[in-house]
Structure 1
Amino acid sequence: MRILLAQNMFHLPSHGGANKSNRILMEQLAARGHECHVVAPLSGALRRTSPERHLAYLRDLGADIRSATGELVVYEYRGVVAHAVVEPSRLARRVGEVAATLDPTWTLVPSDDPGLIMLGAASRATPGRVVYLAHTLQQLPFGPGAFYPSAAGTRLVGAAAGVVSVSRAAREYLRTWGPIESELIHPPVYGPGPFTALPSGGGAVPTASTASTVSMVSMVNPCAYKGLPVFLALADARPEVPFLAVPTWGATGDDLAALRARPNVTLVEPSDDIGTILARTGVLLMPSLWDETFGYTCVEAMLRGIPVLASDVGGLSEAKLGVPYLLPVRRITAYEAGAHARPVPVVPEQDPGPWLAALDRLLGDPAHRRELGERSRDAAAAFAASLDEGAFERYLSGLRPVAPPSPPASRAKAPSPERRAALAALLAARAAAARAPGTVPDQGAP
């Protein structure tokens, strides 16, 4: 098969769950002998970089640079050819160009697509051969959590040849609010293992001045959506405990300032290898305040025996795999317009009490911490082993293109030649009247 992934998020780096999942999926398909291409932005409002800097980053990763201009960088990485578009406004056009050359069997479009730019471009370039990937519930064009509700977008999703959900929560959301049926496929993004258990156990509660680097309380993507107020409250309540924050796509300037103001919080750059972050982690916090679609980082930590404290929202309850702790939060239910592509959440006041009690027990009871780490590792290892790397390939192989929807019929007939001539004469007369001194042109409709 020839497969095109048209996504409105970066191919590399892939620090978010959705783009990491997509990147690994395409690499797995390429390894199985399929021709795989990706069209993605090189930079954006939340990640500004130049083609030169991006080229240096790609070369360090071992990517094969095929061509590079001020508008486009084309490279191959792990068998996948990526077309990184410098100006996001040119993304849709590039999708059409690659589709015209590749003639893809299927075009994959993730839900993380503000304005439905890629879904529209893919539907035009490869009608009847679009497969929609439901990653972020808030980016779906329907339902109570939708950032940008769109009846037209809902019709485009419903007209796709196939829709794939990455969690039970996503499948149920699509079914309830679409209503759209989808195929549930948990992406096998965790690697083959074996996964080394990290020394998250220990004796006394660590302190900010004496703790080793493996005993930090960590949070990836600290921002309002993901529960930054809970993280800050815990850091303030336990100033002697070292905390680690890994800002990615969601952190704003105010968020970073709030983190830097805490002397017991260390900020580190994100990494394409999550293992380098987890190697410094004793407890992982995931206090999300919106409905998570799943929670890949939760499973990544559990595979290494790291206890995870997660909020009981959306797909995080799936990602915890039945292991404590799922903790309460007050969810985000309202958003305001923001300066960037994402709305600004109105964050309800949070109660950090249950979180502080759970964290204190983990840090103060080494036996409980080790026991929870072992349970986490066993559950995550069984889950990872149950995933089928060939499931998505088989799903695509069993799909058939669908007939593209017919364009809606015009409600009004096209004007006759006589009518067009009369309208043209009327407009010309009005233009002449407007040019005449001392006259006021007619403002009425013809």
Structure 2
Amino acid sequence: MRILLAQNMFHLPTHGGANKSNRILMEQLAARGHECHVVAPLSGALRPTSLDRHLSYLEGLGARVHSVTGESVTYEYRGVVAHAVVNPSRLAREVGAVAGTLDPSWTLVPSDDPGLIMLGAASRATPGRVVYLAHTLQQLPFGPGAFYPSAAGTRLVKAAAGVVAVSRAARDHLLKQGPIESELIYPQVYGAPLTGRDPDDEGAVTMVNPCAYKGLPLFLALADARPDTPFLAVPTWGATGADLDALHSRPNIRLVEPADDIDAILAMTKILVMPSLWDETFGYTAVEAMLRGIPVLASDVGGLSEAKLGVPYLLPVRRITAYEAGAHARPVPVVPVQDARPWLEALDRLLSDPAHRRELGGRSREAAKSFVASLDEGAFERYLSELTPAPAAPAADRPRAKALTPERRAALAALLAVHAAPPPTTAPEQGDHSS
């Protein structure tokens, strides 16, 4: 098969769940002999970088750069050919160009797609051969928590040849809110567990992607309540300037850069906290930590409850239910006041009782190993091989400016304007648009 992934988030680096699972999925398909291509933005406001620095970053990873123009960089990494677009406003055009040359059997489009840019481009370029990947529930064009609801976008999702849910939470949400039937395929994104260190001997209380969506107020409350405990924060796509200021102001919180290899973070972690306040689709980082015997404190929301695999602790939060317009086309959550007491009690028990921490770490490791062993790396390949192309969506259903709501048009215009600005000369830092 010839497979094109058209995504409105970075191919490399991969510091978020959605783009990491997409990258690994394509590498797995390439290793099975399929011709795999990716169209993605090279950089943007969420991860500013110069072209030269990004090329150095790619070469440092071992990627083979094939061509560099003023509009795109084409490179190969682990058997997958990536077409990274310098100016994201040209993403749709690049999808059409690559699809015209490749003639893909299937075009995969993740839900993390502000403005329906990739879904619309893929539907035009490969009608009837679009497979929709439901990663981030808030980025779906329907449902009570949708950032940018769109009737036209919903029709395009329904017209896709197939829809894949990465968790039970996503599958149930699609069926209830669409209603849309989907295939549940858990991505196999988990590497070999970290060895050589018992996580209860050293390390910090760690949070990845500390931001309002993910429960930063609870993380700060824990750090404030236990000033002698070391905390570690790994900012990725969600952290605002105000969030970073709040983190820097706590002397017991150390900030570190995200890493493509999660072991670089987990090697410094004693306990992982995931106090998310929105409906998570899953929680890859929870499983990755548990595989390494690291206890995880997680909020009892959406797919994060699923990712804990029945192991304590799932803790209560007051969920985000409202958003306000944001400056960079990303809604700003209205965060309810949180009760940190259950979180502090759980953290104190793990910190003060090494035997309990070891027992929980062992249970976490066994549950995660069992879950990963149940995953089938060939499931997605079989799904595509058995899939039948869908009738092409009517032209009237294809997303155009007049089909978008005023809010979505404003968000898309703001997003493209931010992305089109010349990037500052800084090293690659942030991850993707996803959770």
Residue 439 (structure 1) aligns with: none
Runs of 4+ with >6 A deviation: none
- Quote how far apart the aligned CAs of 1:195 are: 4.5
Residue 220 (structure 2) aligns with: 232
Residue 374 (structure 1) aligns with: 362
Residue 300 (structure 2) aligned to one of 284, 288, 312: 312
- Quote how far apart the aligned CAs of 1:405 are: 2.5
3-state SS of paired residue (2:74): strand
Task: Confirm or deny: 8 A CA contact 2:193 2:291 kept in the other structure.
Answer: no
Residue 397 (structure 1) aligned to one of 361, 366, 385: 385
Q: Cα–Cα, structure 1 residues 306 and 198, in superposed 2: closer, same or farther, change >3 Å?
A: farther
Residue 81 (structure 2) aligns with: 81
Q: What's the TM-score, normalizing by structure 2?
A: 0.90
Residue 409 (structure 2) aligns with: none
3-state SS of paired residue (2:93): helix
- Aligned partners of 2:196 and 2:184: how far apart in 1? 29
3-state SS of paired residue (2:246): helix
Residue 436 (structure 1) aligns with: none
- Quote how far apart the aligned CAs of 1:407 are: 3.5
3-state SS of paired residue (1:11): coil
- Aligned partners of 1:197 and 1:385: how far apart in 2? 22
- Quote how far apart the aligned CAs of 1:197 are: 6.7
- Aligned partners of 2:359 and 2:396: how far apart in 1? 61
Structure 2 residue runs of 5 or longer lacking an equivalent are 398-435
- Aligned partners of 1:402 and 1:333: how far apart in 2? 35
Task: Confirm or deny: 8 A CA contact 2:194 2:263 kept in the other structure.
Answer: no
- Matched to 1:356, the amino acid is L
Residue 406 (structure 1) aligns with: 394
Alignment of 1:111-260 (within 5 A): 111-191=111-191, 193=192, 195-196=194-195, 198-202=197-201, 214-260=202-248
Residue 299 (structure 1) aligns with: 287
Residue 349 (structure 1) aligns with: 337
Task: Confirm or deny: 8 A CA contact 1:197 1:304 kept in the other structure.
Answer: no
- Matched to 1:121, the amino acid is A
Task: Confirm or deny: 8 A CA contact 2:203 2:267 kept in the other structure.
Answer: no
3-state SS of paired residue (1:393): helix
- Matched to 1:130, the amino acid is V
How far does the alpha carbon of each residue in 1:32-83 deviate from its partner, in whole angstroms, 9 at most, with x for none? 0000000000011111112111100000000000001221100000000000
Structure 1 residue runs of 5 or longer lacking an equivalent are 203-213, 410-446
Residue 90 (structure 1) aligns with: 90
- Aligned partners of 1:314 and 1:67: how far apart in 2? 42
- Quote how far apart the aligned CAs of 1:201 are: 2.2
Residue 100 (structure 1) aligns with: 100
3-state SS of paired residue (1:132): strand
Residue 288 (structure 1) aligns with: 276
Task: Confirm or deny: 8 A CA contact 1:198 1:305 kept in the other structure.
Answer: no
- Aligned partners of 1:282 and 1:160: how far apart in 2? 43
**Which of the two has higher C-alpha Rg?**
1
- Aligned partners of 2:156 and 2:177: how far apart in 1? 15
Q: What's the TM-score, normalizing by structure 1?
A: 0.88
Residue 5 (structure 1) aligns with: 5
- Aligned partners of 2:283 and 2:119: how far apart in 1? 24
Residue 310 (structure 2) aligns with: 322
- Matched to 1:359, the amino acid is L
Give the number of equivalent residue pairs: 397
How far does the alpha carbon of each residue in 1:335-367 deviate from its partner, in whole angstroms, 9 at most, with x for none? 000011210000000000000000000000000
- Aligned partners of 2:136 and 2:68: how far apart in 1? 31
Alignment of 1:351-366 (within 5 A): 351-366=339-354
Task: Confirm or deny: 8 A CA contact 2:109 2:122 kept in the other structure.
Answer: yes
* Identical amino acids, percent of aligned pairs: 81
- Quote how far apart the aligned CAs of 1:139 are: 0.1
- Matched to 1:264, the amino acid is N
How far does the alpha carbon of each residue in 1:128-157 deviate from its partner, in whole angstroms, 9 at most, with x for none? 000000000000000011000000000000
- Aligned partners of 2:330 and 2:21: how far apart in 1? 21
- Aligned partners of 1:251 and 1:176: how far apart in 2? 31
How far does the alpha carbon of each residue in 1:209-266 deviate from its partner, in whole angstroms, 9 at most, with x for none? xxxxx32000000000000000000000000000000000000000000000000000
- Aligned partners of 1:144 and 1:194: how far apart in 2? 38
- Quote how far apart the aligned CAs of 1:408 are: 4.6
- Matched to 1:5, the amino acid is L
- Matched to 1:339, the amino acid is A
- Aligned partners of 1:93 and 1:356: how far apart in 2? 50
